[in-house]
Amino acid sequence: MVNRCLLQQQNKSRHHQKRHLFPISFVSLNNPNSYTSQWPEKWGDLRHMTISIADLENYFNLIILKLKASGINSIEIKGDYYLNISAEQWDTFDKEVSPSIGSLADDINSLNKNVRDEFFTYVDFDRVSSVLKAISQELNPVNPT
């Protein structure tokens, strides 16, 4: 059974929350003609979350179940190279970021080697993330070609 609460926001007093400015606009659902660049206070501070290992296990189990239920045994990924924004830059909204070029072939080869060697590093989390993004784009394309 999947936990109903997959992401738990840490409790913080509303009095201690700061307003954060972002170079993006949010539209008010109550007043669609109103735009603001301030993070809506009711959303709280989403930068502080806890994800349990059980939650991660549920995510990955559901991914596998979804693919099997869809009758998918393998996925052909078209293309190899992708732009990668480093972890220290991926939540930077107020300045330019410097993406690097990643290779899905390198990621998959490294992951397969590490599975054979029964050795996994935190860098492999990034590799799995890139493979999952590529699978998502193949199965549910944002910009179909």
Does residue 29 form part of some domain?
no
Do residues 127 and 111 touch, judged by C-beta distance below 8 A?
Answer: yes
| C-alpha 132: how far from chain center | 9
Does residue 61 form part of some domain?
no
Element at 28 (helix H, strand E): none
pLDDT tens digits along 10-57? 333 333 344 444 444 444 555 555 555 555 666 666 666 788 999 999
pLDDT at position 11 = 33
pLDDT tens digits along 57-87? 999 999 999 999 999 999 999 899 999 988 8
Q: With cut-offs at 50, 70 and 90, classify the pLDDT of residue 7.
A: very low
Does residue 125 form part of some domain?
yes
Does residue 62 form part of some domain?
no
Number of domains in the chain: 1
Does residue 133 form part of some domain?
yes
pLDDT tens digits along 100-125? 999 999 999 999 999 999 999 999 99
| Predicted structure pTM score | 0.65
β-pairing verdict for 8-9 and 49-50:
antiparallel
> Does the structure show a pLDDT above 70 at 99?
yes
Does residue 32 form part of some domain?
no
pLDDT at position 96 = 86
Host domain of residue 86: 75-140
Does residue 91 form part of some domain?
yes
* C-alpha to C-alpha distances, 97 to 26, 84, 85, 94, nearest whole angstrom: 22, 10, 7, 9
Does residue 27 form part of some domain?
no
> Does the structure show a pLDDT above 60 at 133?
yes
pLDDT at position 41 = 66
